[in-house]
Amino acid sequence: HPDEARQFRALSMMDENGNIPADGLFTAAQQMNDMRLQQGNNPQAITSAGWTWIGPGNIGGRVRSIIIHPADPNIMWAGSVTGGVWKTTNGGTSWQILTDFMSNMAVTTMVMDPTNPDILYAGTGEGFTFNREISEPLGGGVFKTTDGGATWTQLASTNNSNWHFVNRLAINPSNSQIMLAATYTGLWRSTDGGTSWTSVLSGYMGDVNFNPSDGN
């Protein structure tokens, strides 16, 4: 009964009023970072060093996006719907999770800045079924990294319900500041690298792409 399992998962994320806060996971991640800063030398503090990973190691989730470094094909990033962003530097022989502490792990699409391979954007939330609010992982908008995935920051302009399901991101091949996003609520366009977005079309959008040889 997978639908019932998904409904239970959605129920576990709801607040006392039956709503799923759009910024709930983001707020929790901030609180976790605050606790790390306050722990100091407290021997009772919870730290990543105090835990030993015992698996399982087969829960990356469905892979919907792969990006290959333009100058070194051994470096790749993979985005999975329930497993976040992973990176390999040896052509896929081994992978390292990059987003364990990102506030949303439902990565559905990624794009790379054509002028700087360390700058990547990750869209979250899988909106490919009819009953998205219950059956698919809820996203938290678009996240950006400027250091190849070591750290990620949520684009504040996407921290709202219009960005719960980002199906596809596209970046202009000749101007990295111009981006398009296909979401559950419509097609959005940015001319400032995601700082702000303008609605272009309303309604469900499953995909969007630029002509790779013509940014217009």
Q: pLDDT tens across 150-198, in order?
A: 999 999 999 999 999 999 999 999 999 999 999 999 999 999 999 999 9
Read off the pLDDT of residues 119-133 as tens digits, 9 standing for 90 and up: 999 999 887 765 454
How high is the pLDDT of residue 55? 63
Residue 216 confidence class, pLDDT cut points 50, 70, 90: confident
Euclidean distance between CA atoms 21 and 165, whole angstroms: 14
User: Cβ-count burial of 97 within 10 angstroms (0-12 exposed, 13-18 middle, 19+ buried)?
Assistant: middle
Q: Is the pLDDT of residue 115 over 90?
A: yes
First to last CA, the chain: 47
pTM of the model: 0.74
| HSE toward the beta carbon, residue 49, CA cutoff 13 A | 4
Instruction: Give yes or no for residue 81 having a pLDDT over 70.
Output: yes
pLDDT digits (tens, 9 = 90+) for 28-69: 888 877 877 777 666 666 666 667 777 666 555 688 899 999
Q: How far is CA 192 from CA 52, 119, 171, 183, 196, in A?
A: 42, 14, 11, 19, 7
What are the two backbone dihedrals, phi and then psi, of residue 36, each rounded to the nearest 5 degrees?
A: -65, -40
Q: What is the mean pLDDT of the chain?
A: 85
**Span 132-152, mean pLDDT?**
81
